[in-house]
Structure 1
């Protein structure tokens, strides 16, 4: 089973889930042992398929870090924290975490878009 390590220890994912916001982006950085990479990808694919069926899910994309040691970043867009909270708390998702190898460390954090004039829109 994977380990959770907050990106911001003073405001872990459990606290973020209590904030009502919309839309939101979940960014989850994973580190793991090279020997566990195939099993990680299999577990992530199953979780992504499960999340894709949940209300409020918009899209997801997995990225692998350039380098020899595997590190991954998942970027998932949700209609709201309420939708993501329901999916994240669902028994099927919670039980699926056991499929991840024990070397996997996940650092999830929820973000919102920021408007910067002339650069990006909210």
Structure 2
């Protein structure tokens, strides 16, 4: 399903006010993100679905970036600008950028947020929209939201 058709499908499936606002923004964002290729990490549940959801507790944003070698410095500059913006937003806890080893031009950003409402507000902010054009043309991004899990004897949420 194309991103535009998927966004329309989300519009018809979500009925509460927060979901309608998130979907409306995401329809707008699709046009803004044409400079940044947007690739869903999970084809069944996209970032638009996640933004329209209501969950309790802290979230981790995992965002994978791919970029051409010649555009690495431009990607890093755009990411740093975004990170400084998000750092100033209520509910932001932390972020960490990782780069693949052995000359890889794949990057992973992990950011922790207090809750979905805080992330949604920061992500929907027009200041953030305006920053999307700073990413190099070769950049592709795959943002996805996660919650920590408890697995007995291994990890706790």
Report the TM-score range of the alignment, normalised by the length of the smaller protein. over 0.9
Residue 10 of structure 1 deviates from its aligned partner by 2.1
Which has a greater percent of strand? 1
Deviation per CA, 1:21-67: give whole Å up to 9, x if none.
Answer: 22100000000100000010000000000000001000000000012
Runs of 4+ with deviation above 6 angstroms: none
Report if aligned partners of 1:30, 1:106 keep a CA contact under 8 Å in 2.
yes
Residue in 1 aligned with 2:43? 9
Report if aligned partners of 1:33, 1:69 keep a CA contact under 8 Å in 2.
no
Mapped partners of 1:69, 1:79: distance in 2: 31
Residue in 2 aligned with 1:100? 135
Mapped partners of 1:104, 1:39: distance in 2: 9
The SS at the match of 2:83 is: helix
Higher relative contact order (CA 8 A, sep 6+): 1
The SS at the match of 1:72 is: strand
Mapped partners of 2:97, 2:46: distance in 1: 21
Q: In terms of Rg, which structure is larger?
A: 2
Residue in 1 aligned with 2:17? none
2:146 corresponds to 1:77: no
Mapped partners of 1:49, 1:7: distance in 2: 24
Mapped partners of 1:57, 1:51: distance in 2: 7
Count of aligned pairs:
122
Mapped partners of 2:89, 2:54: distance in 1: 18
Which has a greater percent of helix? 2
Residue in 2 aligned with 1:109? 144
The SS at the match of 1:121 is: coil
> TM-score normalized by structure 2?
0.76
